[in-house]
Amino acid sequence: MFKRISTDTINTILIIGVILLIVEVVFFEGGLVFSLIFFGFMLYVGWKKYRKTWGKIFFWLGLIVLVFTVLSMIAVRFLIVAIIFLFVRDYYRTKKTPERITPEIIDQEIPDHTEPILKQKLFGNESTPNSYVWQDINIHGGFGDRVIDLSQTVLPKDEAVISIRHLVGNLVIYVPYDVEVSILHSSVFGRSAIFQYQKSKVLNQVVSYQTPGYSSQRPRVKIVTSLLSGNLEVKRI
């Protein structure tokens, strides 16, 4: 089902769920966090001492109460309703336009500081400046899009490294034509498009790609990205 759902739809559902969870914890259920911690701890202790009778009691009591506590949360109820709605919608879509599955064959191989180029941001979009002195990029992100343009800098003679771990949002990386590239991308939900290779969906998968001259030619850049939900685009410029 998730292969037919757009990344933007999944991102919207996740963001609404997070907002509802924050609102519920802050304004409506002050004791919710305490209940989750207490019964989670009871579940853990019962699991560690499961061979004993009281351990079994702790484990099952903690598990049952924890499940009902989680299911009573507005955010969880919203996610359940959203999944049911998407499932029903996808079912009727497949009845009208059945999905055609064809084999996909892609020849790939696994393969003194100033201000940082990109900053650690939880929310919001961000892109590299119009021109900048190259620094290796190693950032964590929350929500929003990231754009990296390598044509606006001079890459080092050895190897440039881009490492991005992001929750929800799209990553777009522009690479000059004379730069060799190695890419390792993982995503739970999303799409990937690397140069001429298009992969419509990445569902809890790892995508790897390496240009033929990466191991012998310079300049070169190593790109390692990880997304919970979002698209990766790597383009020549």
The stretch 3-14 carries a mean pLDDT of 71
Instruction: Flag whether pLDDT at 58 surpasses 80.
Output: yes
Cβ-contact 225, 171 below 8 angstroms: yes
Count other Cβ atoms within 10 Å, centred on residue 198.
12
Q: How confident is the model at residue 129 (pLDDT cuts 50, 70, 90)?
A: low
Structure tokens of 116? 């940082």
Q: How confident is the model at residue 113 (pLDDT cuts 50, 70, 90)?
A: very low
Cα angle, residue 33 at apex, residues 28 and 36 outer, rounded to 5°: 125
The residue with tokens 């933007």 is: 8
pLDDT of amino acid 181? 92
Residue with the larger pLDDT of the pair 213 and 117: 213
d(C-alpha 140, C-alpha 166), whole Å: 6
Long-range (24+ apart) CB contacts under 8 A made by 118-126 are: 118/146, 118/148, 125/169
Domain positions in the chain = 2-96, 121-236
The stretch 144-154 carries a mean pLDDT of 83
Instruction: Flag whether pLDDT at 107 surpasses 60.
Output: no
Give the whole-number percent of the chain exceeding pLDDT 90: 8
Helix or strand holding residue 170 (H, E): none
Instruction: Flag whether pLDDT at 191 surpasses 90.
Output: no
pLDDT of amino acid 108? 45
Count other Cβ atoms within 10 Å, centred on residue 11.
21
Residue with the larger pLDDT of the pair 11 and 93: 11
